[in-house]
Amino acid sequence: MKKVILQDLGEVDYAKAWDYQEKIFGGLLTEKSENRKKEENEKTTLQNYLLVCQHPHVYTLGKSGSEENLLINSLQLQEKKASFYKINRGGDITYHGPGQMVVYPIFDLDQFFTDIHKYLRFLEEAVILTLKEYGIESGRINGSTGVWLDWDNPKARKICAMGVRASRWVTMHGLAFNLNSDLSYFDNIVPCGITDKAVTSLHLELNRPIDEDEVKEKLVGHLQDLFEFEIIKKEKNIL
């Protein structure tokens, strides 16, 4: 069975978490390159990581996105105590902030399956199964990565956004699941570049505060089942 180190980073500055992801990601790519030069019996098995965290208010723009989808200027960003970063994942603009669970799998997909489409669908499925435990039916919209409620009608609203990067089948970035999020921050962007649909949170849908640790445990459990891995180590607040 595949082995994964689970790291709960707590609330961490976005840039700090991004740098940390890049450090792990770059190290795995280097190790993978070195393995190509070795005999089969000398090759090492790459370590997989699952990072879970929250960020202070921040907007991130993927490499295929448009800066026009950020609807406020730098002064207004300061007033809202929010940051803005152009980053190297796929997708357009999104928001991260307190009350939102962010999950960054840094996986060597050569150990799992070499199919990015399947990888994204598994991430979505873990969220869909988690929501089902709270009595909420959710699904997908063709052409719009992420998890949606009322996905098949005009009231569709996104509860989880996704954007990933992969190189030589090593992944980084991941998903952002709105739990107790302040949804007013989404008013300052065109979320994921989509103009005709809303966003929501588990708090809003259930009309009560959400136990974020409970959701985290459920989501990680579903990721374990879907990707068939075991957690060999749990680390907390290491940054």
Is 33 part of a structural domain of the chain?
no
Q: The whole model's pTM is what?
A: 0.95
- How many structural domains comprise the chain? 1
Question: Is residue 160 within a helix (H) or strand (E), and if so which, with residue range?
Answer: strand 157-167
Q: Enumerate the β-bridge partners of residue 141.
A: 144
Whether 8 contacts 52, CB under 8 Å:
yes
Tens digits of residue pLDDT in 95-147: 999 999 999 999 999 999 999 999 999 999 999 999 999 999 999 999 889 99
Is 47 part of a structural domain of the chain?
no
Whether 8 contacts 234, CB under 8 Å:
yes
Is 28 part of a structural domain of the chain?
no
- Please report the pLDDT score of residue 66 as a whole number: 87
Tens digits of residue pLDDT in 177-229: 999 999 999 999 887 666 657 899 999 999 999 999 999 999 999 999 999 99
Whether 9 contacts 17, CB under 8 Å:
yes
Is 239 part of a structural domain of the chain?
no
Domain that holds residue 75: 55-100+109-227
Distance (Å, rounded) from C-alpha 238 to C-alpha 131? Answer: 29
Is 11 part of a structural domain of the chain?
no
Q: What is the DSSP string of 193-215?
A: G-SS-EE--HHHHHTS---HHHH
Residue of 9, 127, 189, 192 with catalytic role: 192
Is 187 part of a structural domain of the chain?
yes
Check pLDDT > 70 for residue 60.
yes
160 is catalytic: no
Task: Give the domain CATH number at 129.
Answer: 3.30.930.10
Distance (Å, rounded) from C-alpha 127 to C-alpha 93? Answer: 20
Check pLDDT > 90 for residue 90.
no
Is 128 part of a structural domain of the chain?
yes
